[in-house]
Every structure is written in C-alpha cells, then in structure tokens.
C-alpha cells in the first residue's frame, strides 16, 4: 500500500509535503504532484502538512478520487531518472556483462556527474532528471554507451549480439534513462 495525491492538489503553491517526506518520493507533473507507489513508506508525514488535505492512504481514498490511485501509479512509474551509477550498472547488466569495478569505470561514472563517495550533502545524490540530464551529462552518457558497447572500458566486458550502433542507441534512449 502507499499514499496517494488526489486532484485536490492541482495548482497548489505549497509543497510542504515534499519537505517532510523522508524518502523523497514526490514527483512533479504539470498540474500537481504524485507519489511513487513503490517508494512511499506510509509514514503519513505529508498527510498532516498538506493544507488542502489532498493526500490519503490508498485504502482510504474517497470514492470521487479513486481515479487518482491509478493516476499516481501510472504517472509515477518511470518518473525517476537513473543516476550515473545506476545507468552504468543497468547498462552492463542488460548486455549480460561483468566488471571488476575498475578505476576506469569509476572515472566514467564521475564524468557523467557522479563521483563515487564524494557526495557533499548528507542527503546523498538527488534523483531528479534536471540534476543528471544537463546537455554535457547526456553527451557523457552517450560516450559511455559507445565505449561500453565497443568493450573499450578496461575491466568491464559485455556480450555483443546486436550491432554496436544499435546497442549504443538503446542505452542512450530516453526510456533507458528511467528507473
């Protein structure tokens, strides 16, 4: 079960809910926020601060807002962007590869914007798309995809069945950047 943001949230100017959520599971759409159903830990902190009482436990959503349950689920899925580390790991996995975690792999992840073990804020690296997907970072993701699919990262090997170009395009696609 998870908590659900209903239509009452539309065009709200307050985001108190985001500030109190201990697991950062709110996502912003054009008109309102939604909650990622797999990340919510049902702590109820957001319920208490929402000025328009827009948030309900899934089992307690009033009849007129039942559609919001599906809306939160459908919209929240895929809303998170993979961090560079997650992108690298999922790329290696999807190509049935293996790695010894070499310095060159860590350097490639750092070039994509996530120097491992060097995060300053105690809250850790964010997972918002705008943080990770600057133009320079996107180019570095494509460079990584090309290097990986060509088996040019020392200590890391992948199995190549398709053409290198099609693998690089797959890894560089917007869909593959989502969790």
Q: Which is nearer to ligand SF4, 111 or 128 (CB)?
A: 128
How many whole angstroms separate alpha carbon 42 and alpha carbon 1? 8
The footprint of ligand SF4 on residues 6-25 (CB under 6 A) is: 9, 12, 14-17, 20-21, 23, 25
| Residue whose tokens read 């950062």 | 24
As a whole number of Å, the CA-based R_g of the chain is 19
DSSP 110-161: HHTT--TT---STT-----HHHH--HHHHHHHHHHHHHHHTT-STTEE----
Binding mask 29-68 for ligand SF4 (x = CB under 6 A): ----x-x----xxxxxxx---x-x-xx-------------
Could you say whether residue 112 binds ligand SF4 (CB under 6 A)? no
- Nearest-approach distance from CB 144 to ligand SF4, in angstroms: 32
Degrees to nearest 5, angle at CA 99 with 96 and 100: 160
- Nearest-approach distance from CB 102 to ligand SF4, in angstroms: 37
Q: Which is nearer to ligand SF4, 25 or 167 (CB)?
A: 25
How many whole angstroms separate alpha carbon 35 and alpha carbon 62? 17
> Residue 123 CA to chain centroid, in angstroms?
15
- Nearest-approach distance from CB 130 to ligand SF4, in angstroms: 18
The footprint of ligand SF4 on this chain (CB under 6 A) covers a number of residues equal to: 25
Could you say whether residue 1 binds ligand SF4 (CB under 6 A)? no
Could you say whether residue 79 binds ligand SF4 (CB under 6 A)? no
Instruction: Outline where DSSP puts E strands in 12-68.
Output: 26-28, 33-35, 55-57
- Nearest-approach distance from CB 125 to ligand SF4, in angstroms: 19
Q: 157, 97 in Cβ contact below 8 A?
A: yes
Q: Which is nearer to ligand SF4, 54 or 168 (CB)?
A: 54
Residues that bind ligand SF4 in the complex, under the rule CB under 6 A: 3, 5, 9, 12, 14-17, 20-21, 23, 25, 33, 35, 40-46, 50, 52, 54-55
């Amino acid at each position: 079960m998870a908590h659900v943001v209903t239509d009452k949230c539309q065009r709200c100017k307050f985001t108190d809910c985001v500030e109190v959520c201990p697991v950062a599971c709110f996502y912003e759409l054009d008109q309102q926020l939604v909650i990622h159903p797999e990340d919510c830990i049902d702590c109820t902190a957001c319920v208490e601060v929402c000025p328009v009482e827009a948030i309900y436990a899934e089992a307690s959503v009033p009849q007129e807002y039942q559609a919001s349950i599906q809306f939160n689920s459908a919209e929240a899925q895929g809303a998170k962007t993979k961090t560079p580390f997650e992108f690298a790991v999922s790329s290696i996995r999807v190509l049935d590869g293996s790695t010894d975690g070499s310095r060159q792999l860590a350097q490639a992840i750092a070039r994509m914007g996530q120097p491992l073990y060097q995060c300053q804020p105690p809250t850790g690296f964010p997972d918002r798309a705008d943080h990770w997907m600057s133009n320079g970072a996107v180019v570095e993701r494509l460079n990584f995809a090309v290097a990986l699919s060509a088996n040019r990262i020392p200590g890391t090997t992948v199995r190549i069945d398709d053409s290198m170009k099609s693998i690089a395009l797959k890894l560089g696609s917007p869909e593959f950047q989502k969790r």
